[in-house]
Amino acid sequence: MRRRRNPGLVAIVCLGLLVPVVGVAVVVGLIPTEPERTAAVPTERSERTGTSTPPTGTGEVHESDYPDTWDTPDDVPVTPDDQLTQPEIDALLQTSAAADAGSTCAPEHLTLSFRVVDAAAGTIFGYLLAEATQPCTVVGWPGLGARGEWGDPLPMQIDPEGRGWDGSALEAAPVALAAGGCAVVPLRWTGERAGALSQAVSSAVVQLAEGSLAVLVTNPPKGSTDWIDWTINSHLYPGPWQPDPGLCTG
């Protein structure tokens, strides 16, 4: 005798099988797809829009970087700064210039000097000044180094920065100079500073553009208003070239 299917029982069985399937579909539908996860992660945006990134600095100075005569002068006569050869001057650079295309000023186009303007809480504030003898353009961060009064290279920590003394962003935009015009590099320094028994800077070394020759900038006499008291392990923070804020005499 053939048994007939009970329609009610079939409906119950089918319903029982359907519920788990629907539940799985609902759960799967709640799992975000990969594109949705990616869209939910905020992307990093530079806060330096319109401002070039400063070049890499020298890093911390260690005692192994000090010259042998760092704490006392040698008995050997010191070669005067103005008698150094170009390779000897170039070898004093500790950071290289970082300039975008458009830098046209060569050492013979500019008169370079330093100006000290303020001091606060162990920080000295000043400028590197460049007065043009003929039209040219400076841009970016100059390379820097220094020679001590005993004839030694002075290892310093140099960290180029893209902000002013008040924390505002400084653009590394080209500064076009007419003859007699002037541009400045904002500069501050902390850390070790030259005293009575420390080897002070006799001349700073400046590179105007990447790959160009370095030039010596003689330090004013010790104790004068614009004397830069860098020494071994001073910490320098140079900014990029900026238009003259009214410091130059031209």
pLDDT of residue 68: 67
pLDDT of residue 157: 94
pLDDT of residue 90: 96
CB–CB of 94/145 below 8 Å? yes
**Model-wide pTM > 0.85:** no
Q: Could you read off the pLDDT of 137-177 as tens digits, one per residue? A: 999 999 999 999 999 999 999 999 999 888 899 989 999 99
pLDDT of residue 198: 82
pLDDT of residue 97: 92
What tens-digit pLDDT sequence spans the chain (250 residues)?
Answer: 444 444 444 444 344 444 444 444 443 344 344 333 333 332 232 333 334 788 888 878 777 666 666 666 767 889 999 999 999 999 999 999 986 668 899 999 999 999 999 999 899 999 999 999 999 999 999 999 999 999 999 999 999 999 988 889 998 999 999 999 999 999 999 998 988 778 899 999 999 998 899 999 999 998 899 999 999 889 999 999 999 999 886 5
Who's near 53: CB < 8 A, 6+ residues apart?
A: 162
Who's near 74: CB < 8 A, 6+ residues apart?
A: 150, 151
Mean pLDDT of the chain: 80
- Domain ranges (residues) in the chain: 64-243
Who's near 71: CB < 8 A, 6+ residues apart?
A: 197, 199
pLDDT of residue 75: 74
Q: Could you read off the pLDDT of 2-20 as tens digits, one per residue? A: 444 444 444 443 444 444 4
Q: Could you read off the pLDDT of 211-225 as tens digits, one per residue? A: 899 999 999 998 899
